[in-house]
A and B are shown apart, each in its own frame.
Chain A
Amino acid sequence: MITAEHLVKTFTRNEKKNRKTEINAVDDISLTVREGEIVGILGPNGAGKTTMLRMMSKLMKPTGGQVSIRIGKTEISDEIEVKRHIGYLSNNTKLYGRLSARELLQMLGTIYGMTQEDTERKIDQISNILSMESFIDNRIEKLSTGQTQRASIARCLIHDPQVYIFDEPTLGLDIISSAAIIEFMKGERERGKTVLYSTHYMEEAEYLCDRIVMIHQGKIISEGTPAALKAQTGQGSLRDIFSGLIQEGRRNEY
């Protein structure tokens, strides 16, 4: 389980006029994702999705609020310890092109404190699940997009994390590759893992998520199961709900 309490992230930017403006990229967001649950974050570009997920995976320090995870009955909030139990994947988490997937996974195993035998066993297992046998010893820079994405997933799996945080994992992938990722997330939910992910694809979210959180301008504007959201707004699809909510938000602004 991963919990965010009153997360705030303030960026100070020099605007055109050269006046310093403070922007709350994430503005008081609280969220809990339980074991065996997939929660989808939806929002337009610049809504604060990436910043929020970066804070939840402890890549960024929040300006306010805190993030913690719970495994069994132990609550962990230390940066390094939390990272140990999170598998984070985004479009910015590229792999070392000059290493092979196997070398990368071996290195990660050591860093996560696994024994050599454990690491080797885990690598065999993962490469079997993701059918990576044919290319696991090739340099990553020589792999195709789909193979690279599989290697990236393998990277998140090596330490068998309790929590997965994926930032737009299916962006720019073909149908087969994105289906593989979706199936993977479903599989991990069955195994009782916690999955938090962001996407632009409404249909995908509707199909996959137990709960959907819509954010706009750093704030949660709506939250609930896909069915509840539809009932609540009287709209037929998530796409309509989403544009409706954002237009409503705009009207309130002026």
Chain B
Amino acid sequence: MNTKIIRTLVKKEMLDVFRDKKTMIMMVLVPVILYPLIFVGAMQFMSFISSSMETQNYRIAVDAKDGDAFIHKLTEQPAGEERSRKETEIITIVDAAAVPDYETALNEESIDVYVSGQLREGKMQYDVYYLSSVTNSAYAANIVMEAFDELKEEMTRQKIQEAGMDLHEILEPIAYEKKDTASNEQSLGSIMGSILPFMLIISLLMGTMYPAIDTTAGERERGTLETILTLPVTNRQLIVSKFITVALIGMISALLNILSMGGIALYMYAIMDMQTDMGTFDMGKFAPAVLVCMLSVFAFSLFISAVTMCVTSFAKSYKEANNYITPLMLVVMFIGYIGFIPNLELTQSMAMMPVANICLLIKNMLAFKVDYAAIAVVLISNVAYAVIAILFLSKIYDSEAILFSEQKGSLQLFEKRSNLQKGGVPTAADVWFVAALTILLILYAGSLLQVKFGLAGVFGTQLILLLVPLALVIYTKRDIRQTYGFARTKVSAFIGGVFMITGFFPINIVLASGLMKLFPASTDNVETAFAGIMGDNICAALLVIALAPAVCEEMLFRGMILHSLKARYRAVSAIAITSVLFGFYHMSLVKFVPTGLLGLVLCYVVWRTGSIYPAMLMHFLNNAYSVMVSYYPEQVGRVLPMLCQETLSFSDGMILCGAGLILLGIGGGIFFRGRRPASADSV
């Protein structure tokens, strides 16, 4: 690759971005000037408020016969530093006789605390009534409690002295003290470990966001994209140079942020050090952490630049790009909070998780826990994700449909209904909308239904799945037959389908048990939830767990979603997206792969036959098999013992897989008999 061209392009992009006011505001003004100003301003404001606090008058009603000693204690002027009460706080004793009903008085805030004292079993029992929801009342209650504490201590001392005993010996028979063995560096590290990762991630995100928009969507909006395409520059050179620019600016911005924050921290330290002795820090101990932080900033800036650019590349304008990037920002910020969760360690699987891995790595380094393998995994995975995103980006820049902005299928749902034309399948936008809506409904309404009504609730969930999309199809006047693939097909497709699913079922069991070994924790709740829902009635279970999904889920996924996406994307993409959605909709890490695979098989069958009916039959059988296995474990176990064991041995797994593959082969043979691959409708 010609580095001279890339260098020139980077130089141009940098000049272009640096001369943009928006970038400069985000990059320099905000971290370097605004942060310290806000911080110093906030500190001054706080001290202003605390010093000029208004005189607070706490009204306390006391209803007690021998309350004089207590009232005296309460109204006595604060003595020395021991009392937390300030001089601006005034206690007014209200006559209890004037308060007929303390609850009303507290609610009306005519008094802050009501104290009632009664002689019970030979000693005074005081009840302190207050309203925790009213700040003054809660505060006054504390003052009252403090006064009681003092009073109690005073009386104790008096009694001990009256009895002629040694005050010190009685009150303090043993001595104890808490001692922190953490070094100053460790304490500092643990504080920084929760804040610093979040700060770094946010500043990198903010820093890359605007250059990413500017070099992609901004370029299209200003109309310079076509100009740059006339140059003898390959797509890859173009993207790499844009990527380098965005990543570099992200790094500069992060650096400025760190310096600015560091400055603020030093300022704070200086102020605190003047007031209290903080001890000294050996900054040298932080050298490895700082080094790893730098590397992390580098790796993460590559990652986040590539991801933001992927998102913004789809946008035609600055405004549109901003809309696209907001959800990404929220997700990244949300994951960034992971550093604040105590006790969360960087595990093997966590080390692969973008954003979270950087957070935890920095946190660990600052806690002086060094794990070289983890460092390597985190850094390499970030770079790898960046490379994948860049490859994806070059696909986008290869696509003329995106570059020369062709119109996308728009959301028809909000069009005037009389303007909608009859027939056809829903647009992709409509499908996304419905998929999102349905999944949300399932998540909220569905869970509620299942918790309340068990099996009937599951049936209700399935109905949601069927009716919500159907309503859209009818409302937008789509062709139901075409949308759902209600078409006749050969008998061989059904017979082949039966064999295929019968072969697929054991293979999927083996797969699922393998996955359960990988993620053992997440299986328990799924299993118990499932067992709780299934009642004793096998007919009902078959109806709800096998038949209903076979109709409802098929109509949504293999029907509407697959057919609509197929009209817009290539068949491979349509099938892949539908299967992923199907896997995702089951909302379980363990179930994702098996259900996704099931979806894939069913999608394929629908695509080849053009009819949804064989897929419905197959889906029914697949679910019916599971119901059978869980209802008649003994009977099934007698015939096929390996299906009902808690854990699957390797050899049993292989046998199941082999049998499954044979059945799949037979099914495929029947399925394709008299049906040459070319005869399927080509897309």
Contact = CB atoms under 8 A, between A and B. Distances in A.
A18 B423 contact: yes
A20 B421 contact: no
Interface stretch (B47-55, B110-118, B219-227, B586-594): B219-227
A110 B4 contact: yes
Given A18-B567, A80-B232, A112-B232, A92 B222 contact: no
Contacts of A92: 223, 226
B19 A98 contact: yes
A252 to B, nearest CB: 29
A17 B421 contact: yes
Contacts of A11: 406
A16 B421 contact: yes
Contact of A57 (B16, B230, B234, B425): B230
A98 B18 CA distance: 9
A153 to B, nearest CB: 13
Contacts of B673: none
A84 B9 CA distance: 16
B141 to A, nearest CB: 63
B262 to A, nearest CB: 32
B230 A83 contact: yes
A94 B234 contact: no
A17 to B, nearest CB: 5
Contacts of B231: 83, 108, 111-112
User: Which one of A96, A99, A112 has the highest number of Cβ atoms from chain B below 10 Å of its Cβ?
Assistant: A96
Contacts of A81: 232
Contacts of B579: none
Nearest to A57: B230
B424 interface: yes
A60 interface: yes
B11 A14 contact: no
B227 A14 contact: no
A93 B232 contact: no
Contacts of B15: 98-99, 103
B427 A18 contact: yes
Contacts of B234: 80
Interface in A57-71: 57, 59-61
A18 B424 contact: yes
Contacts of B230: 57, 59, 83, 86, 88, 93
A19 interface: yes
Nearest to A86: B230
Nearest to B15: A99
Contacts of A110: 4-5, 8
B12 interface: yes
B20 interface: yes
A60 B226 CA distance: 10
B226 A93 contact: yes
Contacts of A139: 19
Interface string A81-115: 10110101010111111110001000110111000
B227 A95 contact: yes
B233 interface: yes
A111 B226 contact: no
Interface residues of B, number: 35
A84 B426 CA distance: 45
B409 interface: yes
A13 interface: yes
Contact of B222 (A94, A108, A111): A94
A111 B9 contact: yes
Given A20-B567, A60-B404, A107 B227 contact: no
B568 interface: yes
Binding site of B, secondary structure by majority: helix, strand, loop or mixed?
A: loop
A17 B222 contact: no
User: Which one of A84, A92, A111, A112 has the highest number of Cβ atoms from chain B below 10 Å of its Cβ?
Assistant: A111
A150 interface: no
Contacts of A111: 5, 8-9, 231-233
B87 interface: no
B400 interface: yes
A33 B310 CA distance: 40
B16 A96 contact: yes
Contacts of B222: 94, 96-97
A155 interface: yes
A252 B590 CA distance: 63
A59 B424 contact: no
A94 B406 contact: no
Given A83-B230, A94-B222, A99 B424 contact: no
Interface in B1-33: 4-5, 8-9, 11-12, 15-16, 19-20
B229 interface: yes
Given A18-B567, A99-B16, A110-B4, A13 B406 contact: yes
A94 B231 CA distance: 13
Given A80-B232, A110-B8, A111-B232, A155 B424 contact: no
A95 B16 contact: no
Contacts of B421: 16-18
Interface in B53-76: none
A18 to B, nearest CB: 3
Given A13-B406, A92-B226, A93-B227, A98 B16 contact: yes
A18 B427 CA distance: 7
A19 B364 CA distance: 56
B350 to A, nearest CB: 42
A108 B228 CA distance: 10
Contacts of A97: 222
Nearest to A14: B409
Contacts of A103: 12, 15
Given A107-B8, A107-B12, A94 B232 contact: no
Contacts of B568: 14
Interface string A39-74: 000000000000000100101110000000000000
Given A13-B406, A80-B232, A96 B425 contact: no
Nearest to B226: A92
Contacts of B4: 110
Nearest to A159: B232
B162 to A, nearest CB: 88
Nearest to B568: A14
B189 to A, nearest CB: 43
Contact of B20 (A54, A59, A98, A107): A98
Contacts of B478: 18
B11 A61 contact: no
A177 to B, nearest CB: 18
A101 B511 CA distance: 63
User: Which one of A86, A93, A155 has the highest number of Cβ atoms from chain B below 10 Å of its Cβ?
Assistant: A93
Contacts of B409: 14, 18
Contact of A17 (B404, B407, B424): B424
A199 to B, nearest CB: 19
Contacts of B9: 107, 111
Contact of A90 (B19, B226, B232, B406): B226
Contacts of A86: 230
Interface string B398-437: 0010001011010000000000010111110000000000
Closest 7 CB pairs between A and B? A18-B424, A94-B223, A98-B19, A93-B227, A83-B232, A84-B232, A92-B226
Given A93-B230, A155-B227, 10 more contacts: A18-B409, A18-B426, A20-B567, A60-B404, A61-B400, A83-B231, A94-B222, A94-B227, A98-B19, A103-B15
Interface of A: 11, 13-14, 16-20, 54, 57, 59-61, 80-81, 83-84, 86, 88, 90, 92-99, 103, 107-108, 110-112, 139, 155
Interface of B: 4-5, 8-9, 11-12, 15-16, 19-20, 222-224, 226-227, 229-234, 400, 404, 406-407, 409, 421, 423-427, 478, 567-568
14 contacts: A13-B406, A20-B567, A57-B230, A59-B226, A86-B230, A90-B226, A92-B226, A93-B230, A95-B227, A103-B15, A107-B9, A107-B12, A108-B231, A110-B4
